[in-house]
Amino acid sequence: AQSVTQPDIHITVSEGASLELRCNYSYGATPYLFWYVQSPGQGLQLLLKYFSGDTLVQGIKGFEAEFKRSQSSFNLRKPSVHWSDAAEYFCAVGESDNAGNMLTFGGGTRLMVKP
Amino acid sequence: DAGVTQSPTHLIKTRGQQVTLRCSPKSGHDTVSWYQQALGQGPQFIFQYYEEEERQRGNFPDRFSGHQFPNYSSELNVNALLLGDSALYLCASSIKNQPQHFGDGTRLSIL
């Protein structure tokens, strides 16, 4: 069975500092990997996705993520955090033959941004 | 272009009651998935509908059932509500090989 672990429940960074959110997955085949962001009281917005090809993927809002098969990781990064980035971030893995199929989510990382 | 819309936004029920939540997918999408997100946790997959049939199901009891209509909209029904059913219920729509788009959810509170 597939699973996703986000080791950091909470992270606080200063505005303008760099950010890295960790994600480790367990999946037998080639995974489809996603990062979503959720603001309070709202649904999930897709930041970026990895299906195949270049292991460094660019997303919206200046985010990027790197797929490392050897480490079973898909960490999310941003070089300079803005106050509006404060939210909950979820990493997810999907089945490889159809990206629209069921997603397995991690427990999330809550990002707080200090002025 | 409207995204995924869910109704109602909030709902309060008591134990033992039944509830129906509704979802209209993003234009052009034909697949609808439902997720339950308990407070402080990540979403958990309930089931997915395609061509008006349940195609995949997560680890949820039969009290959770659904339906998809010919216009691709969907309903989630929960019978015999328990306190533990209190959660944000998220609907996501997609089309083959494209990522899922989520609605803002229905917040269900059980008293």
Over 90: is that where the pLDDT of A21 sits?
A: yes
- Per the structure, the count of domains in chain B is 1
Q: What is the pLDDT of residues A43-84, one digit of tens each?
A: 899 999 998 888 999 999 999 999 999 999 999 999 999 999
Residues in Cβ contact with A85 at an 8 Å cutoff, skipping those fewer than 6 apart: A19, A61, A78, A111, A113
Predicted local distance difference test score (pLDDT) of residue A96: 58
Rounded to an integer, what distance in angstroms lies between the CA atom of residue A61 and that of residue A19? Answer: 13
Domain locations in chain A? 3-114
Side-chain-side CA neighbours of residue A107 (13 Å)? 7
> Which of B9, B100, B106 to substitute to test the interface with A, most A CBs within 10 Å?
B100
In DSSP notation, A45-88 reads EEEEEE-SS-SEEE-GGG-EEEEEGGGTEEEEEESS--GGG-EE
The CATH number of domain A3-114, selected from 2.60.40.420, 2.60.120.10, 3.30.70.330, 2.60.40.10: 2.60.40.10
Percent over 90 (pLDDT), chain A: 76
Q: Please give the residue range of the domain that contains residue B99.
A: 5-110
Q: Inter-chain contact B43–A46, Cβ cutoff 8 Å?
A: no
Backbone φ and ψ of B95, nearest 5°: -135, 155
Predicted local distance difference test score (pLDDT) of residue B2: 74
* Strand partners of residue A111: A11, A87
B25 vs chain A: nearest CA distance in angstroms? 13
Percent over 70 (pLDDT), chain B: 99
Q: Inter-chain contact A101–B48, Cβ cutoff 8 Å?
A: yes
Predicted local distance difference test score (pLDDT) of residue B58: 92
> Which of A2, A39, A57, A102 to substitute to test the interface with B, most B CBs within 10 Å?
A102
Q: What is the CATH number of the domain that holds B101?
A: 2.60.40.10
